[in-house]
Structure formats: structure tokens, C-alpha cells
């Protein structure tokens, strides 16, 4: 894994998930800092890895092996109610990333936080996909979908615009619904 090329791609992928990359010094790092990201306690390593992989592939056009090696190189530590995933092999200098991991153990840095039109959590505690970030030179912008839902529990109907065809939670009863119809749309 070439950490010089992986580091900016990893940081961009974390940001694309709607999360904040932080500086972190994990176990046996003896004060050295690396790239990390704090997530809520209900996020499994598998779901986090899947979300990161989807962003890494779409954000950078990375080779399959490099994305998988990056995900496999992550370690994790428990942080109160959350978890921090970090990459000891991807070093950062003091001040290179905006936050220290100690500041990241707050609700605002949880995958659970859903920001309208920016982050969509799929299913019940699953993969995160984000929208609204401008593509890097040479990349195509993300596509947009208008997903239409009808709750089978309470009958509530709604639609949302996202960068993926994805499940959504009913605002009335909290049930997770799969769209019954999705259509491509143009988004400014």
C-alpha cells in the first residue's frame, strides 16, 4: 500500500461518508499520530468497511486491491459509547487534520447523525452514503435519485433525493422502508 496516495483518498472517503477524519495515537504507537475516524457504538466494522469501500471506489477510482488493503490495515479502539477506526500505517503530522480524537467522542461525530441532503443511513444502522461533495478533477459527479416510499406499517408516503437508491426511515413510525420506485434526477 502506497501511503502517500492512500492518505488523501482515505481522508476524502471519510469526509464523503459525512464523518470527520481525526488525528489519533492508538495502542503501541507511542505518541505517533495517524488518520482515524470516530463512529457511533452501533456501527459494526463490517458496515463501516462496506461504506468506506463504496466511497473509496467511487471517489478515487482506486484499484480493488488498494482499497481492500486500506480497509484491512485499520485497527479500532473503544471510545466510551463509540469506536474509533484508525490506520497506524498512515501517519499524520501534528495539526495536519483539524481535530484530535479526544474531541471526536461527541454525538456530532456519530454515523447515527443524519444531516438532511448530506448523509443517508441505509437500513437499520448500516452503510452511510453521502451527497453534495464536488468531484475531484477528472471524476464524474455522483448521480441523484428520487426515491419514493410508502410505509407498510402506518401508510405514510414520502420521497427523498439521494445519491443512491436506498432504504429510508418513516418519520411517523420509524420503520425502515425500501423505495417502491426510484428515478434518476438532475441536481444542481
Q: 85-109, pLDDT tens digit by residue?
A: 888 888 888 777 755 444 444 433 3
- What does the pLDDT read at residue 17? 78
CA 155 to CA 99: how far, in whole Å?
A: 43
Residue 122 has pLDDT above 60, yes or no: no
Q: What is the pLDDT of residues 16-60, one digit of tens each?
A: 777 888 888 877 777 788 888 888 776 777 778 887 777 776 655
Of residues 53, 44, 46, 55, the one with CA closest to residue 18:
55
Domain residue ranges of the chain, discontinuous segments joined by +: 3-109, 144-185
Residue among 76, 10, 15 at smallest CA distance from 43: 76
Segment 163-187 shows an average pLDDT of 78
Contacts of 186 (CB under 8 A, 6+ apart): 144
Pick the range with the lowest mean pLDDT from 2-16, 48-62, 144-158, 173-187.
48-62
Give alpha helix (H) positions in 62-103: 64-72
- Mean pLDDT, to the nearest integer, of 162-180? 76
pLDDT at 98: 58
Strand 128-130 to strand 119-121: parallel, antiparallel, or no bridges (unpaired)?
antiparallel
Q: How confident is the model at residue 64 (pLDDT cuts 50, 70, 90)?
A: low
For residues 146 and 43, give the distance between their C-alpha atoms in angstroms, rounded to a whole number.
26
Amino acid at each position: 500500500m502506497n501511503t502517500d496516495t492512500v492518505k488523501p483518498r482515505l481522508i476524502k472517503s471519510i469526509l464523503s461518508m459525512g464523518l470527520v477524519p481525526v488525528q489519533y495515537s492508538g495502542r503501541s504507537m507511542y505518541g505517533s499520530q495517524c488518520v482515524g475516524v470516530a463512529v457511533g457504538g452501533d456501527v459494526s466494522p463490517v458496515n463501516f468497511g462496506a461504506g468506506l469501500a463504496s466511497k473509496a471506489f467511487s471517489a478515487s477510482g482506486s484499484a480493488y486491491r488498494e482499497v481492500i488493503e486500506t480497509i484491512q490495515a485499520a485497527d479500532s479502539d473503544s471510545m466510551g459509547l463509540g469506536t474509533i477506526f484508525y490506520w497506524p500505517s498512515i501517519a499524520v503530522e501534528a495539526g495536519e487534520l483539524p481535530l484530535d480524537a479526544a474531541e471526536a467522542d461527541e454525538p456530532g461525530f456519530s454515523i447515527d447523525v443524519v444531516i438532511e441532503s448530506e448523509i443517508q443511513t441505509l437500513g437499520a444502522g448500516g452503510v452511510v452514503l453521502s451527497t453534495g461533495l464536488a468531484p475531484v478533477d477528472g471524476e464524474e459527479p455522483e448521480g441523484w435519485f428520487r426515491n419514493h416510499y410508502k410505509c407498510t406499517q402506518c401508510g405514510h408516503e414520502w420521497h427523498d433525493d439521494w445519491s443512491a437508491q436506498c432504504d429510508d426511515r418513516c418519520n411517523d413510525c420509524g420503520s425502515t422502508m425500501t423505495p417502491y420506485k426510484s428515478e434518476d434526477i438532475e441536481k444542481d
